[in-house]
Amino acid sequence: MNASNDFKTNTPTHFTAAILVAIAALTVIALSYALTITTPAPQVAHAASLAPGTERLLKQTALHLSKMQGGASVGGFPGFEPPDDDGKYKEKIKNKNYSPRDVNDWVKEINNFLKQIIRKNPEMTLEKILTKQGLTAKQIEEFTFALKDTELAARGMASYGVDYARAQALRELLIELGVSLW
């Protein structure tokens, strides 16, 4: 009798509680999912309309440009931080004490990233790409200026170890991306 009463009184309570817990859990899961897909990092607010992989390529480009800017952040992307255990490399970056051979290697990488960015986002200017990436006008200017600065360094060091064709290739990629050197 007691058991029967328990059944009548407890079972609906347990059942209702279980349903409420399940609804609450589903709500939490749904909310967290919604938050995940609607709240990206500020920098990638518009990155969805760029080709997949573009953000990574932009970050890599900025990282290499940063090497020529004393490790400073370029266009809001994280700056290059040389490994702590490599004092020589750290000195080279922090004191901008790089050699033409370094510039040659970095320009090669930058050209490679820019080529991929162009291939993935055909007929888009760098300004449009960076705008879609969520950069501010100031950050776009900074990113573009760092590219122009790199091109200048590559030209200046062309007689000392920077492959002239490589410096020229950087210029042509910039033109293709609608970046005026003047």
Partner 1 sequence: MVKQFGLRPFHRMHDGILIHITLDEWPADVPLPEGIKLLETDDGVVHPFWRIVLEPNRTIEAIGGMFRMNCSLDATSKKFEHVMQNVGWKSNGMLFQEERRTTFRYTHSVEDAYVEVSLLQSKDLETTRVTIRRVVKHPYAPPIAEEESVEENVEPALEEVAK
| CB atoms near residue 56 (< 10 Å) | 11
**100 vs 24: CA distance, rounded Å:** 62
**Contact flags string 54-83 toward partner 1, x per CB under 8 A:** ---------------xx-x-----------
Sole binder of partner 1 in the list 58, 110, 114, 157 (CB under 8 A): 157
Q: By CB under 8 A, is residue 145 in contact with partner 1?
A: yes
Is residue 75 a contact partner of residue 142, using CB atoms and an 8 Å limit? yes
CA angle 51, 110, 88 (to 5 degrees): 135
Q: By CB under 8 A, is residue 95 in contact with partner 1?
A: yes
Q: Which of these, 119, 90, 117, 110, lies nearest to 163 by C-alpha position?
A: 110
Q: Closest CB to partner 1 among 116 and 145? A: 145
Q: Closest CB to partner 1 among 32 and 97? A: 97
Query: Residues in the site for partner 1, rule: CB under 8 A?
Result: 69-70, 72, 94-101, 138, 141-142, 145, 148-149, 152-153, 155-161, 164, 168, 181-182
